[in-house]
Structure 1
Amino acid sequence: MAALALATDKPTKELMEKPPVGQTDPVITNIMWRNLLTQALFQIVVLLILQFKGRSIFGVSEKVNNTLIFNIFVLCQVFNEFNSRDMERINVFKGSQRNRLFWGIVVVTIAFQVVMVELLNKFANTERLSWGQWGACFGIAAISWPICWVFKFIPVPAKPIFGYGRGIANVS
């Protein structure tokens, strides 16, 4: 769903004015690496804290804690969809109001998550959450926005740092 949501944005004037990317250029740019590593580090830290201290932090059973971990993980992906729309844009919401399909996919993803947690307990092996627990899940996932905002001020070199993610021409 996230890939579909991100693919629905129409090209902006700024994007169309950029030079084309060559076949041998890395698929994953330094800017993408910066944002990817930022989000990965944030999510790993949050999920490890919840895995080892979540029960005592929230005062819940192991099954509820596992549901919180699952819920926060999915919501982090939803919030990161906004961060990923334009890797260089400081305002992650700029232009999003024009894309109803993007918002529809975000809403459907959240609705599916609510159904998984609240109604499909046996199928998803989840436990129903209270309103406060849902608020905590959304609040923790929303922390990714200011973190991403801060890290967007870290400049990255234009020359590729990593050789991974090379274009198809370099695979062989």
Structure 2
Amino acid sequence: MKKMMVDQAMVRKLSACETMGSATTICTDKTGTLTLNQMKVTKFWLGLEPLEDGAYLNVDPFVLQLIKEGVAHNTTGGVHESKSVSDSKFEFSGSPTEKAILSWAVLELNMEMETLTKSCSILQVETFNSKKKRSGVLLKRNVDNKINAHWKGAAEMVLRMCSKYYDAYGIVKYLDNETMSKFESIIQGMAASSLRCIAFAYAEVDVQELGDERENSGIVVKDNGLTLLGLVGIKDPCRPGVKTAVEACQHAGVNVKMITGDNIFTAKAIAFECGILQPNQDTDETVVEGEQFRNFTHE
């Protein structure tokens, strides 16, 4: 805000709106501005197979339990029993993405949040940040004292940390180059359908390995050699009237740019949907990722 004030771009009084009359470019956020910010899980992939409604019954219970464990503990959101007279027994708190994942796990996978949170002790937490685009948690299970590391985040980021994956039958398979390419195609396909793609992965941690880490520099959540548990696609529909508003700006000579932390394919899909990108436009020129943008000169 202070930087905007130095640039004389901060409008605090209606009478100062004339300042905006000379605007040539609008830089808009995506989530909640161009979209409704009402996220819902619409796709779920386990291994290389998409699971439709009701297909969860055929999934290996051990894999489902691991997914629920990761969702319940690796979250900044919460699940509460609804006190209001509504259709749902539950209320969900947290960011829209967290609420969408928790809602899916509770209503589709029958996750019991309270039972799961009591069944494990959290040893270490790696909070989400916009650079790594993932969050992790290290758990000790009370039943068997096993220690598991769980990760959740942007699918393309989490996939790079994995060397194996589970299929729906609970069989662990190795991620060779061919399979990795298939997963990348699945992620790109979901993103091209304007879905935000989130991956879940985990690893069992050796207690002795953990002991070495404690002696050296504290506990670290293991982030390599993980096993991919599954992928979810979250839909956030465009706001009604956004395309018309973008067209009105463009017609008036005001350029509209979208800024988002989302996957580049999801960003492109939403930009096409809103009319910010045109079907015949060269996206190599008009779509810039953060890493490339940060290396530009000021000019």
Instruction: Say yes or no: TM over 0.5.
Output: no
> Higher helix proportion, which one?
1
TM-score, normalised via structure 1 length:
0.29
> Higher strand proportion, which one?
2
